[in-house]
């Protein structure tokens, strides 16, 4: 409910907030901070009063995933998301992007996940891009709990759900799929 805020937003920012708000329950998004990725940077378009920050993960090939990160994830997971998006928009391939993230981590420029890092990605419109097939595909609504890099065997998952995501070279995410209401 953006009506609790007394300042006016331009239509583009208001639309971005509406899109990013798809990521989490209203009791979180109502008072969250919102970011917009523009010209290679994340800009704050609305300052919130709780410990969540929401934005839309977009990539040039069509990925669309609204995300809301808690404070721990903003400190420790967001830098990888930011580098990933910036690299893709600068024309790097997915492989080159993940190499950049690994190098940045090894040089101490980005951290690994803090305990308690949570990312909501609960939009029914979530879409991922598969660089191998060149296709976009829907992904289920989900929450991600991040950890420093773990072995695939840590949780003894046999194809899930839940699932382990090992995409970033220095972090692991346990993905909990949320049933649609």
List, for residues 28-74, the tens digit of each pLDDT value: 999 999 999 998 899 999 999 999 999 999 988 889 999 999 999 99
Query: DSSP assignment of 61-83, as one string?
Result: T--EEEEEEEHHHHHHTHHHHHH
User: Rounded distance, CA 48 to CA 103, Å?
Assistant: 33
Structure-block tokens of residue 37: 């990725």
* Confidence grade of residue 180 (pLDDT, cut at 50, 70, 90): low
pLDDT of residue 8: 63
Spacing of C-alpha 89 from chain mean position: 16
pLDDT digits (tens, 9 = 90+) for 105-138: 999 999 999 999 999 999 999 999 988 898 999 9
């Amino acid at each position: 409910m953006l009506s609790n805020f007394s300042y006016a937003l331009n239509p583009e920012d208001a639309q971005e907030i509406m899109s990013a708000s798809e990521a989490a329950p209203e009791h979180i998004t109502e008072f969250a901070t919102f970011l917009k990725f523009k010209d290679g940077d994340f800009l704050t378009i609305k300052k919130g009063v709780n410990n969540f920050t929401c934005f839309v993960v977009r990539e040039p090939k069509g990925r669309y995933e609204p995300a809301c990160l808690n404070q721990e994830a903003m400190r420790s997971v967001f830098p990888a998301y930011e580098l990933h998006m910036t690299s893709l928009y600068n024309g790097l391939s997915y492989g080159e992007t993940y190499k950049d993230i690994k190098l940045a981590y090894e040089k101490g420029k980005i951290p690994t996940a803090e305990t308690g890092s949570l990312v909501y990605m609960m939009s029914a419109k979530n879409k991922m891009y598969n660089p191998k097939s060149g296709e976009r595909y829907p992904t289920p609504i989900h929450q991600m709990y991040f950890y420093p890099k773990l072995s695939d065997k840590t949780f003894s998952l046999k194809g899930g759900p839940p699932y382990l995501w090992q995409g970033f070279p220095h972090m692991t995410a346990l993905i909990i799929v949320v049933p649609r209401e």
